[in-house]
Structure 1
Amino acid sequence: MQLTYLLIDFFTVIICFIFSFHPKINFHKHFRAFLLSSVLVAIVFVIWDSWFTKMGVWWFNDDYLVGIRFLGLPLEELLFFICIPFSCVFTYHCLTKFFPMDWDSLRDKVFVLGFVIISVFFAILFYDKIYTFITFLTLAVSMIVLRFVLNVQWIGKAFTIYLILLPGFLLVNGILTGSGLENPIVNYNPKDFIGFRIITIPIEDFFYGFELIIWNLFFYKKFKIDELEEAYLEE
């Protein structure tokens, strides 16, 4: 049982890792860009995660953990911020490589504006629920910064791919929150979130996950361009 969370991390990433070396995919050529982006984003999310754990917003069941902790977080939770983004960025790489998935600029802008309005609405409505409030507020700020400050025009496309990944999200987060287990691996304080769940997953997790992925994609794309420029200069 103590290997449960570690195995979830492993099986989340292993198939994507193997196919990264496929000659038609070649995602392995961008491992450095991914690692740089995932570590950079993970720093922020680990601080957030550690803060919430210390406050008792959520906590982890030791029965499913190997017992190694850093900043109050299990090793498995730290690996989560590498393994989940890897699978998502890999999927984004594959789907955008082989399928036309671009949104036009206006459609993307309208989508982001709508998403920001909804996020701000929920942040205000549930201002007394810290997980709900912080998640929706930071997501709104993230989307404003990415779309209107950094001029990112692929958020709608990223959301489409995120929807495609939802079955995997439901499986992984479902197990973490108790689906198929005697007790949840990750437990939530009822007073700190809305309480609406899809299967066993708090609705906030879906938006938390999307924020994690779009920042990983932003930095991955940036570091990937830097890699290509370096390769060009070396030639």
Structure 2
Amino acid sequence: MNSHYTYYIILAASLAGPLALSFDKKVAFYKRWKYLVIPMFIPAALYVAWDSFFTKEGVWWFNEKYITGHHLFGLPIEEILFFFVVPYCCVFVYECIRCYFPNLKKKVWGDRVLQLIAVLSIIAGAVFYDKYYTSWTFFFLGIFIGMVYVWKSWFKGFDAVSFVVSYIIILVPFLIVNGFLTAIPVVLYNDAENLGIRMYTIPFEDTFYGMLLIMMNVALYERVLKREQFKMVNSRNKL
């Protein structure tokens, strides 16, 4: 096998299961693909800009042995695809949780968990302000969670409990994928810009970097979904 396709193979393996199961009759996630397109592009654009800047600054870099060498915005094409493949898989898991456990939503403890994470994230970002990866990850996560609650009416489709439970489940495959990327290694990190704490070979910050990415996708997906449902209800009422 040509090692230059390693990153592509990891992405394809990650996508295969959720994509196939998207046609499950109960979840029928394929019917909601149209609501996911725009929500996926907005976080992806932000993450590409973030990733590109960090790559330029040497916060992390990519092992040329395991990528094809095709770049866009200063990043390997595979890395850009990561910001679409992983969110797709994670939103699929979120939809499964919503579908199979409809009574799970609207529990107060979910809001409390996210609000606590937001406060601790802002504090961590301030304490470790001199470390790019640590400070940016925690600041951005804390700020976005705050936005969800400050503009609760705009994000009214977002359910904290469903997200928290989904993310706990998502952490298993997310850490496996990141484990491959960091152990091979496809991605290498400058430990001067992070806490230096590893879960196997995965930087501690990756867990929260991923949480922010998935939360943005889920919150925006729910926003689009609720807006479309509102339009459909209005249309029926006019008939």
What TM-score does the superposition give when structure 1 sets the normalisation length? Answer: 0.92
Q: Distance in 2 between matches of 1:110 and 1:20?
A: 31
Q: Distance in 2 between matches of 1:227 and 1:18?
A: 25
Instruction: For residues 177-217 of structure 1, give each alpha carbon's deviation from its aligned partner in whole angstroms, at most 9, with x where no partner exists.
Output: 11xx3xx1111111100100101000100000000011100
Contact 1:112 1:147 in 2 (8 A): no
Contact 2:122 2:143 in 1 (8 A): no
Going from structure 1 to structure 2, the CA distance change for 1:109 and 1:167 (only over 3 Å counts) comes to closer
Q: Distance in 1 between matches of 2:63 and 2:172?
A: 24
Alpha-carbon deviation of 1:32?
A: 1.4
Instruction: For residues 104-148 of structure 1, give each alpha carbon's deviation from its aligned partner in whole angstroms, at most 9, with x where no partner exists.
Output: 23x233223311221122112211111100000111100000123
1:90 matched to which residue of 2?
Answer: 92
What are the residue-to-residue correspondences of 1:69-218 with 2, within 5 Å? 69-99=71-101, 100-105=103-108, 107-151=109-153, 152=155, 154-178=159-183, 181=184, 184-218=185-219
2:63 matched to which residue of 1?
Answer: 61
Structure 2: 5+ residue stretches without partners: none
Kindly provide the amino acid, as one letter, of the partner of residue 204 in structure 1.
Answer: E
Q: Distance in 2 between matches of 1:227 and 1:17?
A: 23
Alpha-carbon deviation of 1:87?
A: 0.6
Q: Secondary structure at the match of 2:150?
A: helix
Q: Which moves more between the two structures, 211-220 or 117-126?
A: 117-126
Alpha-carbon deviation of 1:3?
A: 0.8
Q: Secondary structure at the match of 1:165?
A: helix
What TM-score does the superposition give when structure 2 sets the normalisation length? Answer: 0.90
Q: Secondary structure at the match of 2:196?
A: coil
Q: Secondary structure at the match of 2:167?
A: helix
Instruction: For residues 72-108 of structure 1, give each alpha carbon's deviation from its aligned partner in whole angstroms, at most 9, with x where no partner exists.
Output: 1011101100100001000100111011322423x23
Kindly provide the amino acid, as one letter, of the partner of residue 192 in structure 2.
Answer: K
Kindly provide the amino acid, as one letter, of the partner of residue 27 in structure 2.
Answer: I
Alpha-carbon deviation of 1:70?
A: 0.3
Contact 1:92 1:158 in 2 (8 A): yes
Q: Distance in 2 between matches of 1:23 and 1:116?
A: 37
Kindly provide the amino acid, as one letter, of the partner of residue 115 in structure 1.
Answer: I
Contact 1:33 1:223 in 2 (8 A): yes
Kindly provide the amino acid, as one letter, of the partner of residue 43 in structure 1.
Answer: A
Q: Distance in 2 between matches of 1:229 and 1:13?
A: 31
Contact 2:104 2:161 in 1 (8 A): no
Q: Secondary structure at the match of 1:2?
A: helix
Q: Which moves more between the two structures, 217-226 or 3-12?
A: 217-226
Alpha-carbon deviation of 1:225?
A: 2.5
Q: Which moves more between the two structures, 63-72 or 153-162?
A: 153-162
Contact 2:66 2:186 in 1 (8 A): yes
Deviation beyond 4 Å, 4+ runs, structure 1: 229-232
Contact 1:85 1:212 in 2 (8 A): yes
Structure 1: 5+ residue stretches without partners: none
